[in-house]
Amino acid sequence: QQQVKQSPQSLIVQKGGISIINCAYENTAFDYFPWYQQFPGKGPALLIAIRPDVSEKKEGRFTISFNKSAKQFSLHIMDSQPGDSATYFCAASRVGGGGNKLTFGTGTQLKVEL
């Protein structure tokens, strides 16, 4: 059972453009929604995360939009740069209690072209 669905699988954006990646979840108990960035040969690194008490969080060029009623959240990368080319994973978890076990989406390969 795939509890977090991510789209698109791959994305090509021109330098300076906006990259948008979408995720949908099923488990209403999830209350922590991070995005991870992964470069080839490296482990994922936390990019930005949101809790469901807010609908948007912005850090620099990266913004998470969160829609609790639709059980959807998205990552927006403004002014995309070639250095942003990587694989992006959304994830979700229920923090506290039995640990913060992350359920990941299947990933989006982003390529930013000059």
Provide, rounded to whole angstroms, the least separation between the CB of residue 16 and another protein: 29
Task: Kindly list the strands in the beta sheet with 62-67, ordered across the sheet, starting from the edge strand earlier in the chain.
Answer: 4-7, 19-25, 72-77, 62-67, 56-59
Q: Cα–Cα distance between 114 and 104 in angstroms, integer? A: 30
For residues 81 and 109, which CB has a smaller minimum distance to another protein in the complex? 109
Measured distance CA(47)–CA(63) in Å, rounded: 10
List binders of another protein among 36-95 (CB under 8 A).
36, 41-46, 49, 89, 91, 93, 95
Shortest distance, position 59 Cβ to another protein, whole Å: 12
Chain residues that interact with another protein, rule: CB under 8 A: 4, 6, 32, 34, 36, 41-46, 49, 89, 91, 93, 95, 98-107
